[in-house]
């Protein structure tokens, strides 16, 4: 039987594009899986699914995402934005910007392309898993899944992420209220999706927050292995990498940051 935690409902955003309705679970497999059910089984739009803990949280590229009880913010929103299928990468960059904007009052964070939220030293504060449904040339719907490490000491983290992740509370040096943070994430996502639907691209604001540009990176990306300098973003949000044999355009894949040129 589903158990609900009504404390999260303080973060409801009446009348807003995202977060006017919150489904708040104590424990769930994956908020993305539940949000996907809502996307496929009805006409939900702007509904947020949040959980105190996920038992099968999913990360990008089939990885596990850890979200133990009370340590993180795990939320997935169902959206049906009026966007073309070709704009799906923009939704990903806009969601990353929204999460960074929501975290910024607590601690300075930056973005690792395409949508990791990172501390100044590169450790990962949060990640985003977007799953889309495309109908012809239209983006019929999307689940935007957001995981933020909030109150999690390094010593309590699993070995596989201990040196790679950091919690927002540790960066802030003070406890972070997850319900307030959720409210800010929902506000920022609403603003970003409103902007996208008005045709305003997030590229300039994304560039300003992007810690990847100017770094030497290597990738096993969808188009093969590449190593070079991240020099810019293309008009669809792809990462432009200056390699020995010319400019490569990376649309997706995993990226390792080697360091400054
Ligand atoms: C990544 O960086 O690999 C993406 C991580 C996304 C994790 C969030 S937590 C809420 C939502 N539910 C999931 O199962 N995954 C996303």
Percent residues over pLDDT 90 in the chain: 92
Q: According to the model, what pLDDT value does residue 223 have?
A: 66
Specify whether the CB–CB gap between 260 and 214 falls below 8 A. Answer: yes
CA of 195 to the centre of ligand 1 (A): 24
Non-local (6+) Cβ contacts of 46 within 8 A are: 16, 17, 18, 19, 20, 21, 77, 78, 79, 190
Q: According to the model, what pLDDT value does residue 221 have?
A: 66
- Our answer on whether the CB atom of 25 is closer than 6 Å to any ligand 1 atom is no
CA dist 191 and 220 (Å) reads 33
Specify whether the CB–CB gap between 73 and 146 falls below 8 A. Answer: yes
Q: According to the model, what pLDDT value does residue 222 have?
A: 65
Q: Span 210-237, mean pLDDT?
A: 91
pLDDT above 80 (res 145): yes
- Our answer on whether the CB atom of 72 is closer than 6 Å to any ligand 1 atom is no
Task: Write out pLDDT tens, residues 92-102.
Answer: 999 999 999 99
Task: Write out pLDDT tens, residues 166-175.
Answer: 999 999 999 9
pLDDT above 70 (res 183): yes
Look over the chain and give the mean of its residue pLDDT values, rounded to a whole number: 95
Non-local (6+) Cβ contacts of 234 within 8 A are: 240, 249
Q: Span 218-246, mean pLDDT?
A: 90
> Which atom of ligand 1 is closest in space to residue 124's alpha carbon?
2
Q: Span 87-116, mean pLDDT?
A: 96
Question: Would you say how long the chain is, in residues?
Answer: 261
More confident residue, 1 or 26: 26
Non-local (6+) Cβ contacts of 138 within 8 A are: 83, 84, 85
List the single range of 109-113, 154-158, 250-254 with lowest mean pLDDT.
250-254
Q: Span 120-147, mean pLDDT?
A: 97
Q: According to the model, what pLDDT value does residue 188 have?
A: 98
- Our answer on whether the CB atom of 58 is closer than 6 Å to any ligand 1 atom is yes
Q: Span 183-197, mean pLDDT?
A: 98
Percent residues over pLDDT 70 in the chain: 98
Residue 133 confidence class, pLDDT cut points 50, 70, 90: very high
Q: According to the model, what pLDDT value does residue 134 have?
A: 96
């Amino acid at each position: 039987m589903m158990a609900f935690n009504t404390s999260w409902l303080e973060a409801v955003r009446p009348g807003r594009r995202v977060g006017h309705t919150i489904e708040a679970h104590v424990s769930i497999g994956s908020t993305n899986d539940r949000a996907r059910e809502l996307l496929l089984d009805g006409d939900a739009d702007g509904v947020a699914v949040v959980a105190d803990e996920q038992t099968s949280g999913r990360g990008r590229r089939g990885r596990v995402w850890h979200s133990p009880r009370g340590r993180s913010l795990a939320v997935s929103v169902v959206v049906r934005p009026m966007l073309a299928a070709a704009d799906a990468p923009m939704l990903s960059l806009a969601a990353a910007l929204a999460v960074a904007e929501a975290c910024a009052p607590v601690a300075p964070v930056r973005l690792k392309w395409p949508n990791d939220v990172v501390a100044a030293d590169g450790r990962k504060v949060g990640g985003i898993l977007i799953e889309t449904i495309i109908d012809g040339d239209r983006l019929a719907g999307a689940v935007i899944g957001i995981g933020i490490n909030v109150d999690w000491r390094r010593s309590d983290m699993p070995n596989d992420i201990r040196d790679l992740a950091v919690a927002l509370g540790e960066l802030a040096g003070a406890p972070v209220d997850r319900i307030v943070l959720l409210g800010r994430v929902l506000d920022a996502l609403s603003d970003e999706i409103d902007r996208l639907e008005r045709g305003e691209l997030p590229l300039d604001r994304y560039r300003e927050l992007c810690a990847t540009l100017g770094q030497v990176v290597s990738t096993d990306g969808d188009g093969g292995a590449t190593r070079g300098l991240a020099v810019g973003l293309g008009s669809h949000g792809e990462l432009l990498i200056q390699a020995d044999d010319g400019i490569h355009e990376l649309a997706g894949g995993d990226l390792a940051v080697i360091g400054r040129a």
